[in-house]
Amino acid sequence: MSKVPLSHGAVWLVLTMVVSLAALVSTTELRHHRLKVNTAETLSGGDPSRAPEIFRRYGCAGCHAIPGVPGADGQVGPPLSELSQRLYIAGVLENSSDNLTAWVVSPQRFSPNSAMPPTGVSEKEARDLAAYLYAR
């Protein structure tokens, strides 16, 4: 089988198509992410941009693997990735923003024998954490 060389025009056409497709995919992913963030903010009333600092301040990363938070690779508690896809929080609460917020503020209230200690996290901070986790 002999190979037919592509002309400069054909090479540029293929390159343009590849770059255009990559831009389209990137734009679509960005829109999807922005929609998830907007939905998470609306559901939780929180600001996901504040969450990484809150996770670090309260030591959440020592027990949980948290997507997008450098060094958050704890193995004691469950990973906090794809939390929006789960049916339950900590196996005891229906997954909703209000329940997640309440759980983060006071886990023993819902599960007295939980390994998760009292956090000291305020309701406002918990809403920021919920927004972040639902946006992931």
* Residue entry with tokens 């390159």: 15
Assigned token pair, 63: 């027990």
User: Each residue of 61-100: pLDDT tens digit?
Assistant: 999 999 999 999 999 999 999 999 999 999 999 999 999 9
Q: Among positive and negative, which fits the CA dihedral 66, 67, 73, 79?
A: positive
Please report, as a single letter, which amino acid is at residue 12. Answer: W
Q: Enter the pTM of the model.
A: 0.79
User: Each residue of 9-26: pLDDT tens digit?
Assistant: 777 777 777 877 777 667
CATH number given to 8-135: 1.10.760.10
